[in-house]
Structure 1
Amino acid sequence: MERNNNIPIRNIYYMLSYAYQTLNLSEYKQIGTEKFENVKELYAKILSIGIPVLIRGGLNKDYINVEETSNVIKGKIDINSTIKKNALVNKRVTVVYDEFSENILLNQIIKATLVYISRSNKINQKVRRLFYGLLPYFTEVSDVELGLKLWKNVRYNRQNIRYQFIVDVCRYLYEQLLFDESSTSQMLKEVQDEQRLSSLYEKFIYAFFKRETKYNVSHPQIRWIVDDELTDALPIMQTDLVLQKDKKTLIVDAKFYSENMVARFVGGAAKQKSGNLYQIFTYINNWKKEQDETVAGMLLYAKTTALNQPNHIYHIKGNQILVVSLDLQQDFGGIKESLLAYANQFFA
């Protein structure tokens, strides 16, 4: 199996800088000139700068629900809980009230990450000490067991959006350390690593075109064109990227896979992945076209080390589909030129 996970650390940094505008702040500028042995060092360096920045700005607070047994009445009295706890014997009642507190999920994730890293022998001692030194700022935050399920409950809004980059990097670093320490087979680890990089790849592609071009850039859901309005159980068609200019629309699907072409047998001719072609073809055919609008699709793969790489333009039932592969191991200037050229194939 040919893989594409040998991406230079420097390019992962650039991908992060596009995917997360925060990385362009002055506090992070020094990272751009440093050399890192592995991606764990990069993530740890980002957190060593980003978490103090969050602390200086003040940890976010929100109202949390508190239940306690007290002889002072505040909030609402929970009669059922008071009876169950037999609190009245001691002239106490169970009260429930809202408290404006730092003890929220986002701060809990950061604190748990600091604890985890400060105990990990996969991170150098200097960094571990630095992270341990940040823990006193989280004394009002509860200790929670770090696990991937924590991130599933995270929700962002205008008040806490500044946390997104740091909390995401906490996850990237935790996952990297977790899988490094696990007994999982090397092949499975590579697959898991690809899954993490796939998410970053999609974010990077979107953010790149948003920042570097004058196209109208979006990632809308496409509604199914059905005859009877019945859409129950139909899958959601969520685009990765849509570029528009002068009544021309390019629907882009970013693909980061270990294999971007397939052969039925060893030594056989490499073919396009049919499922991906069907997907982009379906997107095109269900796009609600305006009058005189031209719509095309693009499968934007990350290049693997396989000899045969997709680089094709198809015309199917009047629809143009471009299939290209982006070399993430080249200098970042080359990555930028390639992406602009791919879009220009359609819009020129």
Structure 2
Amino acid sequence: MTIPIQNLYYIFCYAWSHFPAGAQVDVGIDDCPDLANLFARLLLDNTHRLIRRGLDRGYLEQVEELKAPRGRMLIDRMIKEQSLRRGAAICSFDELRHDVLHNQIIKATARSLMSVESISKRQHEGLALLLRQLSLVSDIRLTGSSFRRVQLSRDRHLYGLLMRLCEFVFYSLLPDENGASSKFADILKDEVRMSTVFEEFLRNFYAHEQSDFRVKRDNMTWDADALTPGAGAILPTMETDISLTSSERTIVIDAKYYKETLVGRPGFPKRLRSTHLYQLFTYLHHATLRYPGTLVDGALVYPAVGTSISVDYQVSNHRLRVVAIDLNRAWKEIHDDLLGIIDRDFAPLPSDLLADAH
């Protein structure tokens, strides 16, 4: 799957709750030939915003030999090292410094991106400058647990975006054959990781771009009675990808990131994936119980490149739409089509079913 870099910029910005002002591409993004350069540009732009506002700081323990004691004196060390003979005390004290984990992660990510083979000269120079600006921040070796240990105290929006970006870069870099540089994985082929991005993109897009519906993930209770003691505790959770609700209507959207929307054996017609329809219909049944008195519709939304699909069905008393959005177009067209999924009327229900829904 190939998606233009401008559209990838929008997708990741929405997924990470970083909304482009007026749907305009930031200056410099047009010059990015691939995702590695795009992420380098985003890292540079947003870290520079942080630097202008003031990088986050935290209290870190320092141990020093001082002529004028401060903090807590370490008596055992003073005796062992005989610091009093030198007229000094060994003290432990907290000092406010920029050398906190989230700044260390940003610096480590900048260094990692510099090693990517495809990084342009412009981005490489920008990353080198950023490393110099972060000279008072320690160098660390990133691990998966680094991101789980981050605790943000302020500027959560920008730092939150940067931590998501840094984590994505960390899991996307692959060492080259000689180990001297890195390659950026073709993450668009990674259906598992991109499924999360695509779902978050759609949910945040609808939360930001329309005001008729409340947007959330919905945890639903199974319409089931446990006949065996304790059986209810092992039922799986039922959580929608995206639920749009109003006083009159509920739309359940299931986001599916697959390279192919339709599947089938060679020589046979390709069809929709039955498991996706079963899952969505289960959501619609339980949404009817959760939101009585409202029309409950559903949509399966897939990415597509080159071929768009938009078909409507009526299943029981629910209207269901299956859409594959062509992402290889101008962003304005994609934007309008996404809003059209919820704005355009579904095929009208017969009057008797409409009465049953209410």
- Give yes or no for TM over 0.5: yes
Structure 2 equivalent of residue 342 of structure 1: 341
- Structure 1 match to 2:133: 137
CA drift of 1:89 comes to 3.6
Which whole-Å CA distance do the structure 2 matches of 1:211 and 1:52 have between them? 25
Task: Trace 1:169-318 onto structure 2 (pairs within 5 A).
Answer: 169-176=165-172, 178-179=173-174, 181=176, 189=186, 193-225=190-222, 226-228=224-226, 231-263=232-264, 265-287=265-287, 288-304=289-305, 311-318=310-317
Higher relative contact order (Cα pairs below 8 Å, separated by 6+ residues): 1
Matched, 1:124 2:120: yes
Is 1:221–1:236's contact at 8 Å kept on the other side of the alignment? no
The separation in 1 between residues aligned to 2:148 and 2:55, in whole angstroms, is 21
Unaligned regions of 5+ residues in structure 1, if any? Answer: none
- Between the aligned partners of 1:75 and 1:145, the Cα distance in structure 2 is 31
The 1:224/1:36 distance shift into structure 2, 3 A limit, reads: same
Percent same amino acid at aligned positions?
A: 25
Residue 165 (structure 1) aligns with: 161
The Cα shift of 1:248 comes to 0.5
Question: Post-superposition shift, 1:328?
Answer: 0.6
CA contact (8 A) 1:289 1:295 kept: no
Inter-CA distance 18–189: structure 2 relative to 1 (3 Å threshold): closer
User: What TM-score does the superposition give when structure 1 sets the normalisation length?
Assistant: 0.77
Q: 1:76-121 deviations in whole A, cap 9, x for unaligned?
A: 98x9xx7xxx986446999987654423221111010122233444
The two structures, once aligned, show a CA RMSD in angstroms of 3.7
Q: 1:304 to 1:29 in 2, by over 3 A?
A: closer
- Would you say 1:24 and 2:25 are equivalent positions? no
The structure with the larger Rg is 2
Deviations 1:134-171 (A, max 9, x none): 22333342221134443344455664232122232334
Q: TM-score, normalised by structure 2?
A: 0.76
Amino acid at match of 2:161: F
The answer to whether the Cα contact below 8 Å between 2:103 and 2:137 also exists between their aligned partners in 1 is: yes
- Offset at residue 231 of structure 1 (A): 4.2
How far, CA to CA, are the matches of 2:57 and 2:24 in structure 1? 24
